[in-house]
Amino acid sequence: MSEQQRHDTEYGKTGFETRAIHAGYEPDPTTGAVIPPIYATSTYKQDGVGGLRGGYEYSRSGNPTRTALEGNLAALEEGERAFAFASGLAAEDTLVRALCRPGDHVVIPDDAYGGTFRLFDKVERAWGLEYGSAPVSDIDAVRAAIRPGATKLVWIETPTNPMLTIGDIEALAAVAHDAGALLVVDNTFASPYLQQPLTLGADVVVHSTTKYCGGHSDVVGGALVVRDAEIAEKVGFHQNAMGAVAGPFDAWLTLRGLKTLALRMERHSDNAERVVEFLTSHPQVTEVVYPGLPEHPGHAVAARQMRRFGGMVSFRVAGGEAQALAVCDRARIFTLGESLGGVESLIEHPGRMTHASVAGTDLEVPADLVRLSVGIETADDLVADLAAALEG
């Protein structure tokens, strides 16, 4: 066992906040630096041919700043190992190549993140991978979408985007495993603070660390966290062989973000609850979609598998698309923009923005829907901003 592994095992027994701050990096033995340096180096001096100091030979294969991030993410998701990538989609593509072959089949959510759907539909399908889709909330539909023998992965998101549908991770892991498939959970919306899929039976966790993990809207990145050594071996080989790795500065920013993940997710959840309370009683709002609401169809499952319900809220307005667009335009503190999970509140119109490409398909979202990524500003200011935008 290496020094670093011993260190991570020690932190494995500690609480989430302690792991978020310490796991993956030991203060530098020569300088004492408490935070890992940004190792902006492509290569490493060898002490004689093959004499590697600390195991590094070339930064695609390994870089100490990236190693620190990967150790931290593995500890937070309680996985065997983590791997950091240039983006969430780069992580997804690497995972598919590592675990599937042309002719294999995967099941994806019928409301998968748009980029994930495009990856499977346009890129992996051209390579020979087949896919079917099912709503993650319907266990029988997921079971029916599996092709015995051919399905290698059951791939879910929970909560999904933008309708915040909830999938039962434990039950879906059993369904996947019964069919000889693995369960992959895209944990981007919940983050490891709110939900740890590997502890519920999932085999692989996918992150767009661009969102809550990074948390400051200043870096694009992705990650895979795996449950066992055999999958780790395959993913590690493909990370190096395909090369879509996180650069050292991106890894550093993401690690810096993760240190405050627990605090941020608590405040995101507090503020979302305040916003939900305001929207539910507003006469211009016809429906509020939030897994924390008892009337949300996934509430019971979410309450079981999530620590809290997070910062994403969707709602529908009485005045149809015109009002939904006007609310997006009039909001001031809620910045009009795509993406999510940063400290600043964002507002968007899924029908015209993030989900414009699925118009006319089964994935089409209601035109009167507005999606919020509730940030960590003063809750009263957020409520006042939405009140003004709705009054207009």
Ligand X SMILES: *Cc1c(COP(=O)(O)O)cnc(C)c1O
Nearest approach, Cβ of residue 356 and ligand X (Å): 15
Our finding on whether 114 is near ligand X (CB under 6 A) is no
Pick one of 22, 152, 211, 355: the residue that binds ligand X (CB under 6 A).
Answer: 211
Residues in 343-372 at the binding interface with ligand X, rule: CB under 6 A: none
Nearer to ligand X by Cβ, of 157 and 368: the residue is 157
CB atoms within 10 A of CB 15: 9
Nearest 5°: CA angle at 34, between 29 and 37? 80
Minimal CB distance to ligand X: which residue? 88
Pick the closer one to ligand X by CB: 87 or 165. 87
Nearest in space to 19 (alpha carbons), one of 190, 210, 261: 261
Q: Is 210 in the site for ligand X (CB under 6 A)?
A: yes
**What is the 3-state secondary structure of the chain?**
CCHHHHHHHHHCCCCHHHHHHHCCCCCCCCCCCCCCCCCCCCECCCCCCCCCCCCCCECCCCCHHHHHHHHHHHHHHCCCEEEEECCHHHHHHHHHHHHCCCCCEEEEECCCCHHHHHHHHHHHHHHCCEEEEECCCCHHHHHHHCCCCCEEEEEEECCCCCCCCCCCHHHHHHHHHHCCCEEEEECCCCHHHHCCHHHHCCCEEEEECCCCCCCCCCCCCEEEEECCHHHHHHHHHHHHHHCCECCHHHHHHHHHHHCCHHHHHHHHHHHHHHHHHHHHCCCCEEEEECCCCCCCCCHHHHHHHCCCCCCEEEEEECCHHHHHHHHHHHCCCCEECCCCCCCCCEEECCCCCCCHHHCCCCCCCCCCEEEEECCCCCHHHHHHHHHHHHHC
The verdict on whether 121 is a catalytic residue reads no
Residue in 189, 188, 221 with CA at minimum distance from that of residue 85 = 221
The residue from 111, 186, 250, 368 that is catalytic is: 186
Residue 157 contacts ligand X per CB under 6 A = yes
Binding letters toward ligand X, positions 167-186, x by CB under 6 A: -------------------x
Contacts (Cβ under 8 Å, ≥6 apart) of 30: none
Using CB under 6 A as the binding rule, whether residue 314 contacts ligand X is answered as: no
| Nearer residue to ligand X within complex by CB, 208 or 269 | 208
C-beta of 115 vs 201, nearer to ligand X: 115
- Reply yes or no on whether 352 is catalytic: no
Per CB under 6 A, 124 contacts ligand X:
no
- Closest approach of ligand X to the CB of residue 375, in Å: 16
Segment contacting ligand X by CB under 6 A, of 190-198, 206-214, 235-243, 275-283: 206-214
What sign does the CA torsion over 357, 362, 367, 369 have? negative
**Residues 221 to 250: which contact ligand X by CB under 6 A?**
222
Q: Is 44 a catalytic residue?
A: no
* Identified catalytic residue from 11, 39, 113, 212: 113
Q: Indicate whether 152 belongs to the interface with ligand X (CB under 6 A).
A: no
Give the nearer residue to ligand X in terms of CB position, either 63 or 210. 210
Which residue of the set 81, 152, 211, 316 is catalytic?
211
Q: Which of 188, 196, 254, 373 binds ligand X (CB under 6 A)?
A: 188
Q: Which of residues 72-101 bind ligand X (CB under 6 A)?
A: 87-89
Could you tell me the smallest distance in angstroms from the CB atom of residue 220 to ligand X? Answer: 5
Binders of ligand X among residues 246 to 305 (CB under 6 A) are none
Q: Is 342 in the site for ligand X (CB under 6 A)?
A: no
211 is catalytic: yes
116 near ligand X, judged by CB under 6 A: yes
Q: Which is nearer to ligand X, 115 or 319 (CB)?
A: 115
What is the set of active-site residues?
A: 60, 113, 186, 211
Residues of the shown chain interacting with ligand X in the complex, contacts defined by CB under 6 A: 87-89, 113, 115-116, 157, 161, 186, 188-189, 208, 210-211, 220, 222
